[in-house]
Structure 1
């Protein structure tokens, strides 16, 4: 009987190691869907490096990689495994949060994570091997990000969108271009992919997060729309309504783009009202703000009703 119990114990241990090596994670908590990247970033991959994971779980198969983190002394500082480890994991989690659910971007991230983990485990305590695998993963993540996100909006693309309307005078005397630039005065601009050919990026005026500008752009960096946002950031935290002077002024050249843009703008505005980096861990709060009638007006255009799902708020981070 003892021998049978021993065999059972060994089988269970081997099965656990196999599940880890395959990139699986066993938990009694609700398991996110395989390609729900924001949920995975807040659960299975919610750590900033392997050392943090090793400290949480002494049985993790990454203990050898953690040993390398602590003990391997490379010749060049850029090959420091602890630095590479943190860089890779922070990059990976940031991308998960942006990638959305069941998107090609998300699938590329998840489908390449398992092979990376298996290579890392196979290195054992071999420092150069761990460094090489981490370096390859860092470059791989950069390639995935480049493939599935739009290039940054250039000044030329921004000015091409504005055209002669850039000199349009707003109610406070500023031109449209002047006001837009004030709300984009940080670098780099935070962004989130919304669809294969649609990315939202945004900024704010330094020391004045209540004055923001939002851009919608395509795969080649072409700007589709601009929104000027006032008195919205963090105004919904702990509340159920926005102040009366909150407003979102939307400018688009092609009215046909409104149906594509509005769901993302609604989600972004909800996340913005809650202060960004929203975890949605308070019952009903995120759902309330996803459905909240945002003070959006479109320049010389009526707003169509939003008929497509509003994206999750967890993908907007700054």
Structure 2
């Protein structure tokens, strides 16, 4: 069955959804996106994703084409039409059709281009990788310095992930001035002496929606949280490590640059946080 795609207010079979070759998202990566998880047919952390979408659009001066209620209705319609039980909803908003290619933005009243599509992900909850943990390697972070804006400029993260795969790893942690910034598509954490350590929010990392929820749950569970930068050396010497993202939730990390952490198995803190996150998020899903 062909997926149904939302394009500028219309629900279309995926093979009928077409975007102009002049669209700024296509020629300039002048677009932002969000990916929302679906569990049991309901949306996870939806208000957070909408808040970040509004922030990203505002930072780029792109008009937000819908209210939060309208976005919610569209997302629910996409979930229903595509019969998503466990899966993802991808949303992208570009600056729209800019006409002839130009570095100067088109007029402010240019309608943005809105695209949504979904995909099924049956193992979203029972992910085998959560039982074994990820292996990560470190690579230089050479991205631009507005990583807090969730743009579609994802070429270097893709290159880094491919390099990690070539090294036999699951992902890469990016490093700048000796300090870990984040993963290619996730936030990075280490655990030392029971304390959860992750880089503080700034323009240098994406303000993860799952990150915010996990840190809130950790504090509610009386866990110690330190929002500060950490070195690769600290990470390798940590008791355990993990990442968070909308698609992986809380994923243990068991090896960094070939060095096994602890006993090489997912740590108790990351495993507990994954349990808490899934329980709390499913209860609050809409």
TM-score (norm 1): 0.26
Please identify which structure carries the higher helix content.
1
Please identify which structure carries the higher strand content.
2
> Which one has more relative contact order, counting CA pairs under 8 Å at least 6 apart?
2
Based on CA coordinates, which of the two structures has the bigger radius of gyration? Answer: 1
